[in-house]
Amino acid sequence: MTLIPIHFISLAILLHFVAAQQNNGSVSVGASLIATPDAKPWLSSSGEFAFGFQQVQGKDSFLLSVWYDKIPNKTIIWYPKGGPTVSTGSKVDLVDRRGLVLSDPQGNEVWSSGNFSDFAYGYMNDTGNFAIIDRNSDNVWESFSYPADTILPTQVINLGGVINSRMGETDFTGGKFQLRLLQNGNLVLNTIDMDTSDESNSTNSGFQLVFDATGYMYILRRNSEKANLTTEGSLPSGDYYHRATLDSDGVLTQYYYPKNPTKDTSWKVVWFVTEDICKAIDSKACGLNNVCSLDDNRPYCECPQGFSLLDPKAPNGDCKPDFTLSCDEGELNHGGDVFDFIELNNIDWPMSDYVHMNPSNEQACRTSCLNDCFCAVAIYRDSQCWKKQLPLSNGHKDPSKNVKALLKFRKIDGPSGTGGNNSREGEDKSGTGEYISRRSFIFMGSALIGISVIGIFAFIGVINMCFFQSHKKKAGTPILSSTTVETNLPRFTYQELVKATDGFKDELGSGAFGTVYKGVIGTKIVAVNKLETMVQDSQKEFKTEVNTIARTHHKNLVQLLGYCDDGEKRLLIYEYMRNRTLAFYLFKDKRPNWKHRISIAIGVAKGLTYLHEDCSNQIIHCDIKPQNILLDDYYNAKIANFGLAKLLMINQSKTNTGIKGTKGYVAPEWFRNTAVTTKVDVYSFGVLLLEIISCRKTVVFDDDAEDAAVLTDMAWDCYQEGRLDAFVENDSETLDDFEKLITFVMVGLWCVQENPSMRPTMKKVIQMLEGEIEVIEPPCPCPFSVTS
Ligand SMILES: *[C@@H]1O[C@H](CO)[C@@H](O)[C@H](O)[C@H]1NC(C)=O
């Protein structure tokens, strides 16, 4: 009985509080909002904008956001980066010295605006900006400085600013598109993993994207000139709301909506930018194997015949083939009996070709593809034939080119009986899985639209494109045999790379496989790896390996962009990673975030799994260590220098001479006369994983490998004695996630088992790390025999 009055009192206090905490747009320190379907938001003084929780359509979850409160569908214009949604009962507080803090019903912090030594109040401005204001009336934090996918009049984007589309209309997680104001003053709308040179050379470049109070958008240049985005006179006269949103389909649109609608109305478009959204080489408007066309200037995706959506609810996503292409014996020589073509006109997938036959004729093109078990589609145009493998990327309709796409399909069940929809597990290389990167290896078109400060839309990728195309190896002689493999990887001369790297001036790092230098090609920053003198000097071998590497695409692998093969001089050109190496990230004073480290470990494991199992040629890395793991702009792990071991070693499968790995990471079998398998990478991964967990370096001694295994010994001792707190040096963030911690340590210990056959495969490692399968107690990773 005593409970009732207490409840009643607290409810009364709460109601009083809710009423008292907001006044004319200002929000007092200590105020809070609870996520419930009928929760009242904090309103701006005119009542036009609201800050609070909006229920995500059809779900029991809420988004902390700012919206137009007088528009019936309450269009959302701001939410915290990444659009975290929370469940009923979650809370946002305006905490003294802490600013806005969003926490779930259990009290765990989900998001916060950051710490401020002191502030006076919060304010929901009539501009749509939610600000935290100090005693001098200065904004210490404002939502306008952290835009989501929308900007509003009076909002300004400074150099380095980013707007990110959402995934879908009601899915606020980061989508595929970004609008960025680069340091060089170019405004670029591009897909999310584009890497654009930030080198600036113009003294009169843009420095702000301005959305002025009257609804006009322009780029403000350093000399105060304006480059208009909204053309003069294009705005309706009268009282309107204005917003510009990077829509989830990648179209940047400026909209307006009447403030006093007379009848049912909706957002109307002032202008939008979509130019060539389907055709842009790095466009991800549609997923893999999908085909993009423009429908009312919006990208429209449709799976080609014989393919269906991987996720029926995601029409812009990936398509999977409804049949298997197989190189199993028995099917190899029955191409024409088993397969036939569907002819599609004016559709092209400009990437993923592995053979280019020039000249060719249509019949030769058909026959060649039909009898080639790897060939999924042949593109015939201008007496040339391109054979392509799955997954097909950048598919689009292009009536301007006279292209014929010959898409293979299975007429009957093949001799091995793998027809129909039942693609066998482990065989599906269709690329619909997560293991295949969507990233295409030529980045020439990666900028969809570059809006130059002069105010014209210009493709900033054009310079790159010319540069790269002029370096494409010209196929002088007709290649009609499918055994001659040509990739369209750009080739450079040594002199060009001397120039690109300014005489190999800026060294980024060095390792077992050579030294890496920073360089600039076109406007793109690249990493140039000058390979050590090869053991195998055969030209053919180098070409073969480079082709293998070039065909390797995975989001956790660094992409090869070009190469040089000038006599003795052999160099490989890779994408440049701004966030440097894992070694740099891991071993610094402050421990990096545990969640980040978890995702880096899983990323490396995925990249390795792909090298070991998923690509057509198995690749053993042989030198997995933090220096060979690079981090992209979003701290995704990317494995570097794969595929080089084979080039630089006499005999990879049996050796006790050509050890090329790095001590401390090298598996014990390197020192024995046993076969080297993918399990050497598993061992090195184990050491790496223990480093990621503990943020400690494995100790490397010069003379003897046995001494090198110090970190693994320490991990074992701590694990056995139940002292993982010591292993992670009492790091509370890691210890708070104890279950994950102990799982990761156990997996690490399994990977560094002395006996290679005891070590799990990388695939199994991922399953264990992701908690899909239980990890059993590992045995001691102690040496089982002493060898010299
Ligand atoms: C609201 O925004 C306007 C325009 O940016 C600004 O002038 C005004 O000072 C803001 N109000 C408060 C209380 O911050």
For 192-201, 350-359, 724-733, which range has the lowest pLDDT when averaged over its residues? 192-201
| 207 Cα: distance to centroid of ligand 1 (angstroms) | 23
| 314 Cα: distance to centroid of ligand 1 (angstroms) | 41
pLDDT digits (tens, 9 = 90+) for 116-154: 778 899 999 999 999 999 999 999 999 999 999 999 999
| 129 Cα: distance to centroid of ligand 1 (angstroms) | 9
Per-residue pLDDT at 424: 30
pLDDT at residue 632 tops 60: yes
Mutating to test ligand 1, I would choose from 127, 143, 211, 214 the residue with most ligand atoms within 8 A of its C-beta, which is 127
Give the residue from 83, 117, 146 where a domain finishes.
146
Closest approach atom of ligand 1 to CA 139: 14
Kindly state if the Cβ of 45 falls inside 6 Å of ligand 1. no
Clarify whether residues 65 and 106 are in a common domain.
yes
Mean pLDDT confidence for 86-103: 93
pLDDT digits (tens, 9 = 90+) for 479-510: 222 223 345 678 889 998 999 998 998 888 77
Please give the DSSP secondary-structure letter assigned to residue 403.
Answer: -
Give the residue from 99, 126, 146 where a domain finishes.
146
Considering only CA atoms, which of 319, 328, 320 is closest in space to residue 373?
A: 328
Closest approach atom of ligand 1 to CA 154: 5
Q: How far apart are alpha carbons 257 and 153 in whole angstroms?
A: 13
Per-residue pLDDT at 8: 45
Mean pLDDT confidence for 178-207: 62
For 176-190, 310-324, 523-537, which range has the lowest pLDDT when averaged over its residues? 523-537
Domain that holds residue 500: 494-575
Kindly state if the Cβ of 88 falls inside 6 Å of ligand 1. no
Clarify whether residues 74 and 218 are in a common domain.
no
Residue 75 lies in a domain: yes
Residue 164 lies in a domain: yes
The H-or-E segment that residue 420 falls in is: none
Residue 465 lies in a domain: no
Percentage of the chain exceeding pLDDT 90: 33
Residue 776 lies in a domain: no
Clarify whether residues 163 and 116 are in a common domain.
no
Return the SS3 of 747. helix
Percentage of the chain exceeding pLDDT 70: 75
Closest approach atom of ligand 1 to CA 133: 14
| 117 Cα: distance to centroid of ligand 1 (angstroms) | 22
| 226 Cα: distance to centroid of ligand 1 (angstroms) | 24
Considering only CA atoms, which of 487, 486, 470, 488 is closest in space to residue 478?
A: 486
pLDDT at residue 650 tops 70: no
Clarify whether residues 625 and 735 are in a common domain.
yes
Per-residue pLDDT at 284: 67
Clarify whether residues 318 and 266 are in a common domain.
no
Structure tokens at 578: 């701004």
pLDDT digits (tens, 9 = 90+) for 257-308: 999 887 778 898 888 775 456 665 456 678 889 988 876 556 778 888 888 8
Please give the DSSP secondary-structure letter assigned to residue 214.
Answer: T
Q: Report residue 155's pLDDT band, with 50, 70 and 90 as the boundaries.
A: very high
Kindly state if the Cβ of 125 falls inside 6 Å of ligand 1. yes
| 238 Cα: distance to centroid of ligand 1 (angstroms) | 22
Structure tokens at 423: 């693609």
Q: Report the CATH number that the domain containing residue 743 is assigned in CATH.
A: 1.10.510.10
What domain count does the chain have?
Answer: 5
Q: Whose CA is nearest to atom 12 of ligand 1?
A: 125
Clarify whether residues 746 and 730 are in a common domain.
yes
Clarify whether residues 176 and 124 are in a common domain.
no
Q: Report residue 97's pLDDT band, with 50, 70 and 90 as the boundaries.
A: confident
Residue 518 lies in a domain: yes
Q: Report the CATH number that the domain containing residue 562 is assigned in CATH.
A: 3.30.200.20
| 258 Cα: distance to centroid of ligand 1 (angstroms) | 22
Length of the chain, in residues: 788
Residue 17 lies in a domain: no
Q: How far is CA 281 from the centre of its chain?
A: 17
Clarify whether residues 142 and 164 are in a common domain.
no
Per-residue pLDDT at 463: 24
Clarify whether residues 157 and 268 are in a common domain.
yes
How far is CA 671 from each of CA 395, 535, 704, 787, rounded to the nearest angstrom? Answer: 49, 20, 10, 8
Q: How far apart are alpha carbons 49 and 41 in whole angstroms?
A: 9
Clarify whether residues 640 and 696 are in a common domain.
yes
623 is catalytic: yes
Per-residue pLDDT at 194: 39
Per-residue pLDDT at 434: 25
Kindly state if the Cβ of 131 falls inside 6 Å of ligand 1. yes
Determine which one of 623, 702, 707, 737 is catalytic.
623
Kindly state if the Cβ of 49 falls inside 6 Å of ligand 1. no
Q: Report the CATH number that the domain containing residue 218 is assigned in CATH.
A: 2.90.10.10
- Read off the pTM: 0.43
Q: How far apart are alpha carbons 736 and 316 in whole angstroms?
A: 39
- Backbone φ and ψ of 340, nearest 5°: -145, 180
Exposed / middle / buried, residue 347 (Cβ in 10 Å: 0-12, 13-18, 19+): buried
Mean pLDDT confidence for 370-383: 89
Give the residue from 433, 452, 467 where a domain finishes.
433
Closest approach atom of ligand 1 to CA 126: 1
Tell me the torsion sign for CA atoms 784, 786, 787, 788.
Answer: positive
Considering only CA atoms, which of 214, 218, 194, 195 is closest in space to residue 206?
A: 218
Kindly state if the Cβ of 123 falls inside 6 Å of ligand 1. yes
Structure tokens at 730: 């009492």
Mean pLDDT confidence for 87-105: 93
pLDDT at residue 193 tops 60: no
Clarify whether residues 506 and 539 are in a common domain.
yes
Report the 10 Å Cβ neighbour count for 719.
Answer: 19
Clarify whether residues 567 and 665 are in a common domain.
no
Characterize 750-759 residue by residue with b for buried, 16 or more Cβ atoms within 10 angstroms of its Cβ, and e for exposed: bbbbbebeeb
Mean predicted lDDT score pLDDT of the chain? 77
Considering only CA atoms, which of 755, 595, 584 is closest in space to residue 682?
A: 755
Mutating to test ligand 1, I would choose from 125, 152, 212 the residue with most ligand atoms within 8 A of its C-beta, which is 125
Closest approach atom of ligand 1 to CA 125: 1
| 20 Cα: distance to centroid of ligand 1 (angstroms) | 22
Pairwise pLDDT comparison (395 vs 156), residue with the higher score: 156
Residue 439 lies in a domain: no
pLDDT at residue 441 tops 90: no
Residue 304 lies in a domain: yes
Pairwise pLDDT comparison (43 vs 705), residue with the higher score: 43
